[in-house]
Amino acid sequence: MTETPWIQLLATQTLLFSAAVLLLALLRPLLRRLLDAGAVYLAWLLVPLMMLSPALPRLLQGQVLPSPVQTLERAVPAWLRAPPAAAAQTPASSTPAARPQPDAAPGRPAPQALALAGWGLGALALLALLAQRQRRFNDRLLRQADAWRAPAGESPALMGLWHGRLVLPQDFETRFSASEQALILAHEAVHARRHDNAWNLLAAGLLVLQWFNPLAWWALRAMRLDQEVACDAAVLNQAHPHNPGEEPLVKTYVNALLKSHPQRALPVLSTGWAHRHPLLERVKGLRLHRRPAWQRVLGRGSAIGLCLGLTVLARAAQPVSGPEAFERMMQYLEKESATMGARPIGLVVQLDSQQGQEGWKHKDLVFAFAHTLQDTYSQMQLVAPMKDWCLGMHLYRMPGGEFRPQTEILDKDCRKTLTELQPVVLGKGQTSLMARLPQDVQEVVQAQVSLRLEDPRSEGFKAIYRRQIEEMSPQQLARMTEYIDEHSRNHSALQAQDKAWRLSRGEQP
């Protein structure tokens, strides 16, 4: 179904967003106590970084499965093997990624489509509400010679994305003293210098995407509060020539806050001097603004390091994606083949099958191997799960390099043989198979199988292989990457052992 990737993407982004916000909610009191206000505001970078983490390179290899996959034969890749006995007793419906699922009833929308439509309607509704709020705010402004003016009693604000426009209330000069006006203008200048409206737009965009998530609404309010407190601290930390010597700077700042009137609903592309932020929180922040310059620099560096470190850990803990598994497999094939001095081997399976009264279906399958021993006998057993049965293949390599494959039909658990092994001639004709499925299905399966060898580095092979890997379940992808990691570690250990052995004999490694 075409809706499934979008649902998976939305679920992944919701999980990452919620994890980032929960981490900040837990760390925020500690960060406020140890770091300055600017560092606390900077810590909100964790949210977009966590949401972008699936697109970042994996710097650490996290363990996806709780325990390593036990391999029965080194020649058989673990993700292609028949499931163990414990898994064989699991109903087919419990492994949806391994077997096709029935479509929704005719004329009835699928649950994924309904969920995606509901999310889209909610996002569009919130986007329209935010746009209307911005338009109403703009309609109330008046353009005068010195600046944009808002109705009397409103709070000063900075509008615009990159080129901020200062908005002052009509009674700005009469309501605030000269020192208070200077502090307010300095506060809005800090907003403009930091491009806070651009960050507000990003926060509003995330709210639109996560409108159903209660954490998103809390995060927007908390981020805007930290933004204002950081600007307050920046103003109070800089020398201000308009502050009268007999009046403490903090007291002047508090008086200006008290004279400001909260906005009912601040639009997205504006930062207000005082709106619906808790005044008590901002006053508390004014008492903690005094930090040495070196401590502020160290705090912001620590905040950035914390965000980057948590992002790296989050990336390592995420399951391996299909494209990532494909790239790692191709790199593994190239590395192993270069070491062994033999090109990799690709097996292409062309399968035409019919189950019961269904029509004939065609499917292309590919399998890739790094190398095989040239002068010894080797065997590989491969399985391909279908709807209610499996296709089994035995690939025998004879001394001298000749391949002798055989194929069979297995039950839906890929364990019990339903037909005798039938030989297949590589690249020539098809082998016919027919079997009656067990009593729970009671249908006849017919299959036409043809096999051929192909270089897995060819574009045609890679296209089929990429699509096949991307359709794997997370468990299959995890087994596949663990197989690659295990063989890579074993190969590196053997290389180190061989180098040490040659050095002990005085030979060139």
Write the DSSP assignment of 290-348 as a string of letters: ---HHHHHHHHHHHHHHHHHHHHHHHHHSPPPHHHHHHHHHHHHHHHHHHHTS--EEEE
pLDDT tier, 108 (very low <50, low <70, confident <90, very high otherwise): low
pLDDT at 92: 31
Which residues make beta-bridge pairs with 25?
none
Q: What is the pLDDT of residues 247-257, one digit of tens each?
A: 477 788 777 87
> Percent of the chain having pLDDT more than 70?
79
- Residue 128 φ then ψ, to 5°: -65, -40
| HEC-encoded secondary structure of 446-503 | EEEEEEEEECCCCHHHHHHHHHHHHCCCHHHHHHHHHHHHHHHHHHHHHHHHHHHHHH
pLDDT at 263: 57
Q: Evaluate if residue 373 carries a pLDDT over 60.
A: no
The Cα–Cα gap between 288 and 228 comes to 14
For residue 412, the SS3 value is: coil
pLDDT at 407: 94
pLDDT tier, 63 (very low <50, low <70, confident <90, very high otherwise): very low
Residue type, 288: L
pLDDT at 244: 41
Please give the residue that has the higher pLDDT: either 398 or 108.
Answer: 398
Say what the pTM is: 0.69
For residue 391, the SS3 value is: strand
262 within 8 A of 274, measured Cβ to Cβ: yes
Average pLDDT, the chain: 79
Q: What is the mean pLDDT of residues 413-430?
A: 89
pLDDT tier, 476 (very low <50, low <70, confident <90, very high otherwise): confident
Q: What is the pLDDT of residues 114-135, one digit of tens each?
A: 888 999 999 999 999 999 988 8
Q: Evaluate if residue 101 carries a pLDDT over 60.
A: no
Type and span of the H or E element at 118:
helix 111-139
pLDDT at 86: 34
Mean pLDDT is lowest, of 88-102, 246-260, 303-317, for: 88-102
pLDDT at 73: 31
Q: What is the mean pLDDT of residues 289-303?
A: 80
Q: Evaluate if residue 213 carries a pLDDT over 80.
A: yes
The Cα–Cα gap between 240 and 232 comes to 13
Mean pLDDT is lowest, of 61-70, 88-97, 302-311, 332-341, for: 88-97
The Cα–Cα gap between 35 and 29 comes to 10
> Which residue in this structure is represented by tokens 């673990």?
78
> Which residue in this structure is represented by tokens 């307050």?
232
| 3-state helix, strand and coil shares in percent for the chain, rounded to the nearest 5 | 50, 15, 35
Among 372, 380, 465, which residue's Cα sits nearest to residue 77? 380
pLDDT tier, 409 (very low <50, low <70, confident <90, very high otherwise): very high
Q: Evaluate if residue 503 carries a pLDDT over 50.
A: yes
Residue 104 is given by DSSP the state: P
Please give the residue that has the higher pLDDT: either 350 or 85.
Answer: 350
